Structure 1
Amino acid sequence: MNYISKNNIKVNGPIHLPTKKKIYTILRSPHVHKKSREQFKLYTNNILLVVYNVNNVKYNFLKKIYIPSCVKLEITKIC
């Protein structure tokens, strides 16, 4: 946070977006027991973080931040 406060960068968030849920149903036994099923759930959580007042030179600070491999980062420039 020190880098953000020194360079007059404004941050809005984190904003929690709705969680998406997918349910997969699989048969436990492929032959006789058709009523025996197992369900698996996959939850996807989205969090939005909006960063303001960032010049092209200052985009490099995003590359220095540790981001886990499971996190997707999108950078969009709004004029």
Structure 2
Amino acid sequence: MIEDRVKIRIVGYDQEALDNVVKKFTTTLKEEGVEMSGPIPLPTHRELYTILRSPHKHKDSREQFERRIHKRIITAKLSQKALNALSGIKLPSSVSVSLVLESK
């Protein structure tokens, strides 16, 4: 048993895919009987890009693009068995997961 708590940070561009992964993680942790809290939604990071449509003239003609990054955190006390169960979950390409060990 790992004595320290682990923060599972899940980040993605697609909110639906992110929520599906979070649901898979929480059901897997509940099946393993792990003490957990979350998922906690963090603020969405929004990036705006403005680009000139024509680089040589018509400066007033611009196009704007936006990218949103959604984040969730789950904290849990993981056992080796639960960690192996989590590593078997398939992730879409738009979602990334990082584990941070939190010592007392």
Between the two proteins, the alignment pairs up a number of residues equal to 77
1:6, distance to aligned residue in structure 2 (A):
5.1
Unaligned stretches of 5+ residues in structure 1: none
Which structure features the higher share of helix residues? Answer: 2
> What RMSD, in angstroms, separates the aligned Cα atoms of the two structures?
1.8
Larger RCO (CA within 8 A; separation ≥ 6): 2
Unaligned stretches of 5+ residues in structure 2: 1-26
8 Å CA contact retained: 2:29, 2:82: no
Give the alignment partner of residue 97 of structure 2, picking from 64, 73, 78: 73
Segments ≥4 residues shifted beyond 3 Å: 3-7
1:67, distance to aligned residue in structure 2 (A):
1.9
Identical-pair percentage:
35
Q: Tell me, in whole angstroms, the C-alpha distance in 2 between the residues paired with 1:4 and 1:36.
A: 51
Q: Which structure has the bigger radius of gyration? A: 1
TM-score normalized by the length of structure 1: 0.79
